[in-house]
Amino acid sequence: MRRVAITACATLSALGEDTASLWQGLMQGRSGIAAVERFDCSNYISTRGAGIAGVAPAQTPEQPSGLDNILERIAAQVPDLPADTQLLLASTKGEIDRLSGARRHAAAPAPSILFEPLLEKVRTRFGLADAGWNINAACASSTLALARAAALIAHAKAEVVLVYAADLLSEFVFSGFSALQALSPHPCRPFDQERQGLTLGEAGAGIVLMSAERARREKREIQGYISGWGAANDAHHVTAPARDGNGLIRACTQAFAHADIGAAQICAINAHGTGTIYNDSMELTAFEALFGAQIAPMHGIKGSIGHCLGAAGAVEVAVGCKALQTQQLPPTVGCGTPETRAMGRVMERSQEIGGEYLLCCNSGFGGINGALVLERGEL
C-alpha cells in the first residue's frame, strides 16, 4: 500500500481563524465556550456553546447558510488543489439552518436542502471536477471520511483527496441534545469526576491528503501521515455507547494493524472526550483493554471548542499533527479533578510526549466508532 501524507490542515473554530490560533489557544488552556446568543436557550438545560465569531445561520431558506461563511474562511487557508483532487464532505446536518428557516416560515424545503447544495458549493469554491459525496456517520463523520480518503490513496484509487468537514451550532441540534439530557449546564468537563454532559460547538476543517510520493514530487509540505485507520459499530444503542467499549477496541485494533504497529508504539491519544458520563467511561475502558496499565498520555479538546459534531475528527487530526510536530499534548480544559482511571493520564496542563504515532478516536450515535493512527511528519 502507498503511504498517505497530510499536506494541509485548515481549521476554523471558536478558538480562532486557523490552526495556528487554535493550537495557541489550546496550549494556553483557553476556552471558546460562552453564552449562546444566536437563539433563545431559556427552554433548554444549557445556555452554553462554542460558536465561531462572524457566523450567522440563515433565518429563512432564501438567506445564505452559516456554512457559506465557514467555507469561505476555510478555502482561504487551503493551498491550490490539483485538478484530479477528489472530494469527501463530512457533515452530520449540513445546511440545517436553511431547513429550519423553511419550516419556521411554513415553506416547503427542497428535498436536497441539507447536503447537495453544500457539496456543490464546496466543489465550486475549490474548483474541483469531482462531484464528491457526503459521509454522515454521526460524530465520527470526518474521522471516517479521512479513513475513506486514506484508503483510496493507499490503494491507488486516488492521488489527492480533500476532506472538507463542517457543522453549525444550530438550535435544531441544540434542542435535540437538550431533550436527550446530554448537555452540561456548565462548560463540559472531559474525564472529570464532576462531568455532567457535553457542550456543543461548531467548526470547519479542510484536510488535504496526498500520496507521499506525489507530495514529495510536488514539494508539498508534509504535516504528518495517516498510517492506520479503522471503523466498527458496537450495535448497542441508538445514542449510548457500549459500556465495554467493544466497538472502539475493534476500530483501534484495525488501525494498529493497518499501520503495522503495536499499541505500545502509540505515544499519545486524542480522545473523543465529550464530557458525558458514559462516553468518557467507555473510552477509558477501551483504552485499558488496548494498552493495559501503560496507557499513553491522553487529552481532549472539547472543553475548549465544544463538540463540533461531524467536524470534530478533522479538527482533532489537525491538532494531532501539531502535537506530533511539537511533541507536546495540549491541556484538557475542564478536567480539574480527573476520574480515578484518568489520573496521571489526562491533565489540565500540557504534557510532553515522545514518539512517532498518535491515536485519534471518535464515536457517535448509532454505535459508530472511528480510529486513525497519525504518524509524525517531516517538517
The CATH code of the domain that includes 68 is: 3.40.47.10
pLDDT of amino acid 294? 87
Among 347, 310, 360, 335, CA closest to 145: 310
> Looking at 217, 235, 263, which one is the last position of a domain?
217
Instruction: Give per-residue pLDDT as tens, 61-113.
Output: 778 899 999 999 999 999 999 999 999 999 999 999 888 876 776 666 666 67
Q: What is the DSSP letter of 171?
A: H
Instruction: Give per-residue pLDDT as tens, 276-296.
Output: 999 999 999 999 999 998 899
58 and 201 co-located in one domain: yes
Q: What is the pTM of this model?
A: 0.96
Which residue is listed with cell 471516517? Answer: 144
285 and 337 co-located in one domain: yes
Among 214, 342, 350, CA closest to 275: 342
Contacts of 157 (CB under 8 A, 6+ apart): 151
Number of domain units in the chain = 2
pLDDT of amino acid 107? 66
> Looking at 200, 217, 234, which one is the last position of a domain?
217
Q: What is the C-alpha to C-alpha distance for residues 133 and 198, in angstroms, rounded to an integer? A: 29
Give the residues across from 303 on adjacent strands: none
And the C-alpha cell for 104?
419556521
Domain with 72 in it: 4-217
